Amino acid sequence: MVVRCWVVCCLMFCAVRSFALSNASAKCVLPVVYSARQFLCELRQPSLGNRTTFSRQGSTMSAEGGGAEAKLAAIPDVEIDPDGKFKYILIRCHGPGDVSKDIVRGFAWAEYHADIYDRVAPGIEALGFDCECIGGGRIQHSSSQRTILVYGYSMGFGQADHSITVEKLKKKFPDYSSITFNNEGY
């Protein structure tokens, strides 16, 4: 029953998304579609309690391959475009037990925040980790002026905790003169 419901919801999502992408006047539908997609993905994923159990079951394989902590540390904290104004997301990667790490990903090619997640998540999951998008926003990056401004929110994932993002960015770009955030704008 749950599988049948999931299949029907996926088909509906694909149909509405296809319609919205082919019809320029229907672009307002996409934020609603992506919010529904996020909700469906949360239904499909195990709860946080089950995720910990699942991760512990898989921890033997991860530990044999050099340890989950080492693999998690190998995932770069920040990957963003060098210049421009673009969307970003904050992703939480879960390993065995209480091992977790937040990472920042932002790219100008992404039309929607979900596009970034859809491209990044499979790579993280291939390493044996669970991941979830815990919010998004926008980044205005100027490498020539050595400044970064983090602001806004994601329609589908909500607003990221920009203070976490700024701390990650400060570690990645220690020589920048200004890395700040505000909770204004879209």
C-alpha span between 87 and 134 (Å, rounded): 14
C-alpha span between 71 and 183 (Å, rounded): 33
Instruction: Tell me if 87 is assigned to a ligand binding site.
Output: yes
| Alpha-carbon distance values, 186 to 73, 84, 142 (Å) | 31, 15, 19
In the residue annotation, 113 being an active-site residue is answered as: yes
HSE, side-chain direction, 13 A CA sphere, residue 180: 6
Q: Which of 94, 113, 141, 162 is catalytic?
A: 113
C-alpha span between 57 and 98 (Å, rounded): 13
- Give the helix ranges, DSSP H, for 23-137: 29-44, 48-64, 68-74, 113-126
Binding-site residues for substrate sit at: 87
Residue numbering of the annotated binding site: 87
* Catalytic positions: 113
